[in-house]
Structure 1
Amino acid sequence: MNENKNYQHPDVQDPENDELEIDWMEILRKIIAIRKTLYKAAGVGVVLGIIIALSIPKQYTVTVTLSPEMSGDKAGGGLASLASSFLGGGASSSPDALNATLAPDIVASTPFILELFNTRVQTLDGKLDTTLVAYLDEQKQPWWGYIKAAPGMAIGAIKSLFAEEADTASVLNPFQLTKKESEKVEGLRKILTADVDNKTAMTTISVTLQDPKVTAIVADSVVGKLQQYIIDYRIKKAKEDCAYLEQLYKERQQEYYEAQSKYAHYFDSNRNIAFQSVRAEQERLQNDMNLAYQVYSQVAQQLQVARAKIQEEKPVFAVVEPASIPLQPSGTSRKTILAGIMFLVICGTGAWKLIGISYWEKLKEKKQ
């Protein structure tokens, strides 16, 4: 007869089930027994939380949303195509070498950040009116930040006693930055962020600083510089082509005027002469004049198309959400910091009393 191998006598208990059982009542009794200690821990947590919450300076964030026009939206209906259709030429549009998806890389680039250094900023209370790079030195930091930076500040002070005084009026060189300039670039790179939605091409720029008005000014400046950067890049090739055609237009115009002047002068001088050689020379000068006019006319048409293309290549940015002075600070509120620190202190104290002490005693016994 086959026996059921899975059958187990009810008096036999599974040891794994015993390990999974938790006596919640026993834990509750232990917590009640140490309630006075937990009350003290809560008081310590409140004091510590207040100190930490008040030490962290307030931060303000300004977010600007842009909707750039993509080149594919024009669909050949731009000014250059219109001019080309009237003038009989052909204007071919090339794909963009720089589009809106590169905004995060542009904002994080060192040359772009260095251009922001001399941006004029003013605090909300009007007490400080200076450049952005000078304002970064005025920002507050928690007291533990000063403790952490104390060794470096001491070493820097000692080095400054023996180092020669630097020229403060020197121009910033992105190729070779000083240590202080590099630290400020990294600091600005952390507070400036740009995100692009690949589906909608919406660009969101965020700036976080300690003064609301300074934050709004910097955010507006970043948007303006980003727009100008992309515009300059987009129309750079078109402007170079237009400048070349301007020079070529003047040269062909001068050649046409000279050929016209030679023909008119020769025609007036030999009007009543019927020699065949005179007529041949007159016909040759007339052909030169007509050829010069044709070349001059074609260059003039190309110049008009190039001028229209500069305007066509300029991208249009619709500011969906402009920069404005924030009324409330961003980040974690002081109440949340206070509650979090108090919770951690209570949990840490309770865990030490309920579990930590017993494990510590076992470790001491094993060592003995």
Structure 2
Amino acid sequence: MEKDKIHNSEEEIDLSELFRTIWRGKKTIIRFVTIFGVIGLFIAIFSEKQYVASTTVVLQTGGSKVGSNLGGLAAIAGINLGGGSTGGLSTALYPQIVQSVPFQRELLNVSLKFSNVKEEITYREYYEKYKKNNILSVIRNYTIGLPGKVINLFKKDPNNNNSITEMPEDSIYRVSVKEYSLFKQLKGQLGIDNNKKGRFIKISFSMPEALPSAQMAQKARELLQKSITNFKIQKTKEEYTFIEERYNELKKDFSKKQAVLASFRDRNQGLITSRSQSRLESLQSESNLAFSIYSELAKQLETQKIKLKENTPIFTIIEPVSVPVIKSKPKRIMILFIWLFLGTVFGMGFLLGKKWLKSLNTDNKVTH
């Protein structure tokens, strides 16, 4: 019991000593808080504005109308009924699709309307010609980003131009340094949030202005829908194209055989010779065979058309894209409070560290 009392009293002494140390060094803490507060205020004021536009869609499959409708209602309720498969394309792959070179290349060429530019310009043109860096970006580029700039000077490839070139022989895409930096920026601006239980897909895009952010979000949704649809129906479409080509060939062949049969009948009207009768039967058999194959392919073609429609995924827009009214960044009050908190923590850490070093030096002197 006496040991516990001694231990508790030592803890009370330590805590009271800690509070006294902090109180005595309150001026130092105030200095730290002031310095960090000024830094936070500077960052809060000069941080670039960002507007985020988003859209939410539910992915369904064509299938039967009943199944499709039930699947859509279940998805809205957050329930996955199964069935309506997306052809093996997992929602986890959607971020990989939007980060692919062809997808990002499409986004670079989206026409946008900015308040400081009269005519519409592309995303690429805005960031290469019109976008002005703010003070924080300049400071960051020439402090934290300076080593990277120096390295890039030595890594610069004179053969690397400013455009993406598709190599026709093996379909390899070549990306320049400028385009690579634009791709990195796109990855930070474009967000894909997929809900695994339902089939929600939320697509968001952030830009310095409200209208361009909405335009980019809309285009990203359209491109993602197109990519998923192409993936889903690719095999069925190839089969449909193959059957259609064979159908057209056999249609021509059947028409020719019918024409030959009709011509033979016209030339041999009234003749009942065995030779002419045999030839007529032969032509009739060829025409019937061609018609049978042609009819069968016509049925397969119609079946494939239905299958193509069934396999085409349906995107139901739950929340359409709208032009944001309120900016999402910077959250100035939060930034200021975070920096004030950091100033307090660093100030207290400085005081306690200074005291610890002082006590350490005192102990060393005593031992010597």
Task: Answer whether TM exceeds 0.5 for this pair.
Answer: yes
| 2:236 maps to 1:238 | yes
| Paired residue secondary structure (1:207) | strand
- Correspondence for 2:121: 130
Q: How far apart are residue 301 of structure 1 and its match? A: 2.0
- Correspondence for 1:259: 257
- Correspondence for 1:149: 145
Q: Which amino acid is 1:62 matched to?
A: A
- Give me the CA root mean square deviation: 3.3
- Correspondence for 1:360: 357
Conserved? CA contact 2:104–2:183, under 8 Å: yes
| 2:125 maps to 1:121 | no
- Correspondence for 2:39: 48
- Correspondence for 1:344: 342
Instruction: Give the alignment partner of residue 94 of structure 2, picking from 79, 90, 103.
Output: 103
Conserved? CA contact 1:101–1:201, under 8 Å: no
Q: Which amino acid is 2:145 matched to?
A: A
Among all aligned residue pairs of Structure 1 and Structure 2, give the percentage whose two residues are the same amino acid: 27
Conserved? CA contact 2:164–2:176, under 8 Å: no
Instruction: Give the alignment partner of residue 304 of structure 2, picking from 303, 306, 309.
Output: 306
**Count of matched residue positions in the alignment of Structure 1 and Structure 2:** 341
| 2:324 maps to 1:329 | no
Q: How far apart are residue 12 of structure 1 and its match? A: 5.2
Partner Cα separation in structure 2 for residue 59 and residue 247 of structure 1? 52
Moved more, 310-319 or 27-36: 27-36
Moved more, 50-59 or 118-127: 118-127
Pairing 1:48-197 to 2, within 5 Å after superposition? 48-70=39-61, 96-98=87-89, 100-126=91-117, 129-137=120-128, 138=131, 140=133, 142=136, 143-147=138-142, 148-153=144-149, 167-168=161-162, 171=165, 175-197=173-195
- Correspondence for 2:74: none
Conserved? CA contact 2:48–2:208, under 8 Å: yes
Conserved? CA contact 1:71–1:96, under 8 Å: no
In structure 2, relative to structure 1, the CA distance for the partners of 1:15 and 1:111 (3 Å cut) is: farther
| Paired residue secondary structure (2:87) | coil
- Correspondence for 1:198: 196
Conserved? CA contact 2:47–2:330, under 8 Å: no
Moved more, 94-103 or 314-323: 94-103
Moved more, 106-115 or 135-144: 135-144
| 2:271 maps to 1:278 | no
In structure 2, relative to structure 1, the CA distance for the partners of 1:366 and 1:255 (3 Å cut) is: same
Conserved? CA contact 1:68–1:100, under 8 Å: no
Please say which structure displays the higher CA radius of gyration: 1
Q: Which amino acid is 2:141 matched to?
A: Y
Pairing 1:280-299 to 2, within 5 Å after superposition? 280-299=278-297
Cα deviation digits, residues 73-99 of structure 1 (max 9, x gap): 65799xxxxxxxxxxxxxxx9971435
Q: Which runs of 5+ in 1 are unaligned?
A: 1-9, 78-92
Q: How far apart are residue 222 of structure 1 and its match? A: 0.3
Conserved? CA contact 1:139–1:210, under 8 Å: no
Moved more, 186-195 or 36-45: 36-45
Q: How far apart are residue 332 of structure 1 and its match? A: 5.4
Moved more, 107-116 or 221-230: 107-116
- Correspondence for 2:12: 21
Q: Which amino acid is 1:356 matched to?
A: G
Q: How far apart are residue 152 of structure 1 and its match? A: 4.4
Conserved? CA contact 1:124–1:214, under 8 Å: no
Q: How far apart are residue 320 of structure 1 and its match? A: 1.1
Q: How far apart are residue 321 of structure 1 and its match? A: 1.3
Moved more, 50-59 or 94-103: 94-103
Q: Which runs of 5+ in 2 are unaligned?
A: 69-83
In structure 2, relative to structure 1, the CA distance for the partners of 1:252 and 1:39 (3 Å cut) is: closer
Partner Cα separation in structure 1 for residue 32 and residue 155 of structure 2? 45
- Correspondence for 1:218: 216
Conserved? CA contact 1:238–1:309, under 8 Å: yes
Q: How far apart are residue 240 of structure 1 and its match? A: 2.4
| Paired residue secondary structure (1:21) | helix
TM-score, with structure 1 as normaliser: 0.79
| Paired residue secondary structure (1:175) | strand
Partner Cα separation in structure 2 for residue 105 and residue 214 of structure 1? 23
Partner Cα separation in structure 1 for residue 155 and residue 60 of structure 2? 52
Partner Cα separation in structure 2 for residue 214 and residue 105 of structure 1? 23
| Paired residue secondary structure (2:316) | strand
